[in-house]
Structure 1
């Protein structure tokens, strides 16, 4: 009798709210928190493939099955990571033919499972902000095949990194040069080139805005990530070291949003109420909403204390809960 009363109250007060048990982010279960339906949110939900990097690297999930997995978890859109496919492609006797095989399969599966291909995250194709013009132009050329791939899959963008010079003015000019060339090519394929705050100078939102203004092309924009604002790590490491200097995250997202064509909801760990320990999601979503953005927000779970699936669902539920509070 108590159960039916609870369901009645949910129906009366929240209409299409899904009344479920509170999220348990332990590895033992994936019980979802009481959250509202995503139907009336100002944004749509996508899944960043990097959220599944642990099961992919451990051999528990074939990256070719990404669309199926995302569909099963209730996502409308998907964001690929190129590095999950590059080894297979590059090691093939005919890499170009193998790329076609991979893309054909990914495209077919996205149609089969009714998910929208949105972005390919590009890593390992060279430093676009390198001082050496030959190296920089080579990186631009390396990225072009992924522009083609994104176009074939029906994506709207590729995400690139801006690594290279560590001198701000050099970095800025190098970035403007490379992004202008790559964006010019991408216009022929109706693809956007998006820069994520992904560490070092790319996480300095002030500098990144200057780069966007310097490029000044409609198809060149940003992909604000809620969590990637580390400017410097111990020992000068790019990854896997303690961050010793950060750009203010809320200020950074706010400054990047006028150029945003995608948004990444990073998450690491959660408290007992299902809130992210480091990031105020309600505050972040208010910044995103105030900018007028109404596209996809990608779930990018990067924690290690719970399973990938539990972390993804906890992040998804938190986005819905916080979004409903605005």
Structure 2
């Protein structure tokens, strides 16, 4: 009996320690092989409004949220005067990014590339141009110390034709990125890319070690409006099946959140189930917070997502 009481008391003390010491949570998370990063899109409202400068993102991640790894979005590079595509080639600008991240002890993990053309485009001239457009971001990732760029597979045509075009684009871009030890990964990001079976088939066809996926917990709407509610989505792929099918190719995970219950759980999906799928796949690496809700402020949404990840990681 005394042994049982001792066990209960020790368990209660351990639970209390986790609640009081978030640093301990972070240490345990690291021991699991899963680490938390912050996706810049979580602060997109502030960035678009000019309330937060791109160059200050790394410092904010560390100082405000205690997160030491970041995921950039190309759209926010530069300023109103400097186009993000030009900023991605500006060594002075990239050097300032690198300096600020190092000064704050922040790891540059990933660049999410948008607006550089469709990699599953059937028009070969346009597709080859899109591949070339992405190369500067591979070079920027190398300069900043990132390991990975995220690209999109968009295009018009049949699933088979887009699979062939997308696989060819990823193969070409992957071969270029391999010379700099950079990964090229695809997110389920609308259209056919949100059909996990289709995206997995593209990965198998591309067949490159440095080409993979970025499973996003929330982006499984194939047609219609995205988001945590189902009202606007006309065709949705099963979230849990989708994450399961994409995890064998994963080189990162996007922990999307929209809303939370009073107990801190995500109200639109089963987070424990999702993290269990990630763990079961044997994934080791960064799980990126990407809060995209409207009910809570961006800061509060990020903190709630971090708490939820620490709970299950």
Q: TM-score, normalised by structure 1?
A: 0.86
Select which of 200, 204, 221 maps to 2:195: 204
Counterpart residue number, 2:54: 63
1:262 partnered with 2:252: yes
Counterpart residue number, 2:243: 253
Counterpart residue number, 1:283: 273
Counterpart residue number, 1:26: none
Q: Cα 1:269–1:205, aligned 2, differ >3 Å: closer, same or farther? A: same
Q: Is the 8 A contact 2:88 2:94 kept in 1?
A: no
What RMSD in Å do the two structures reach over aligned CA positions? 2.4
Gaps of 5+ in 1: 1-7, 21-33
CA distance in 1, matches of 2:20, 2:106: 25
* Greater RCO (CA < 8 Å, at least 6 residues apart): 1
CA distance in 2, matches of 1:272, 1:14: 20
Q: Is the 8 A contact 1:51 1:299 kept in 2?
A: yes
CA distance in 2, matches of 1:66, 1:86: 13
Superposed displacement of residue 190, structure 1 = 0.8
Superposed displacement of residue 177, structure 1 = 1.1
Compare 248-257 and 57-66 and name the one that shifted more: 57-66
1:77 partnered with 2:57: no
Q: Is the 8 A contact 2:89 2:136 kept in 1?
A: no
Superposed displacement of residue 35, structure 1 = 10
Q: Cα 1:46–1:91, aligned 2, differ >3 Å: closer, same or farther? A: closer
Q: Is the 8 A contact 2:78 2:87 kept in 1?
A: no
Select which of 223, 226, 232 maps to 2:217: 226
CA distance in 2, matches of 1:219, 1:196: 15
Q: Cα 1:167–1:98, aligned 2, differ >3 Å: closer, same or farther? A: closer
SS of 1:65's equivalent in the other structure is: helix
Select which of 296, 318, 323 maps to 2:308: 318
CA distance in 2, matches of 1:161, 1:80: 15
1:19 partnered with 2:20: yes
Q: Is the 8 A contact 1:18 1:36 kept in 2?
A: no
Aligned residues: 297
Superposed displacement of residue 15, structure 1 = 6.9
Counterpart residue number, 1:117: 108
Select which of 47, 65, 69 maps to 2:38: 47
Gaps of 5+ in 2: 1-8
Q: Is the 8 A contact 1:10 1:17 kept in 2?
A: no
Counterpart residue number, 2:284: 294
CA distance in 2, matches of 1:97, 1:201: 28
CA distance in 1, matches of 2:221, 2:278: 20
Counterpart residue number, 1:5: none
Superposed displacement of residue 13, structure 1 = 2.5
CA distance in 1, matches of 2:181, 2:93: 21
Counterpart residue number, 2:175: 184
Superposed displacement of residue 183, structure 1 = 0.5
Counterpart residue number, 1:273: 263
Moved over 3 A (4+): 8-11, 86-92, 94-98
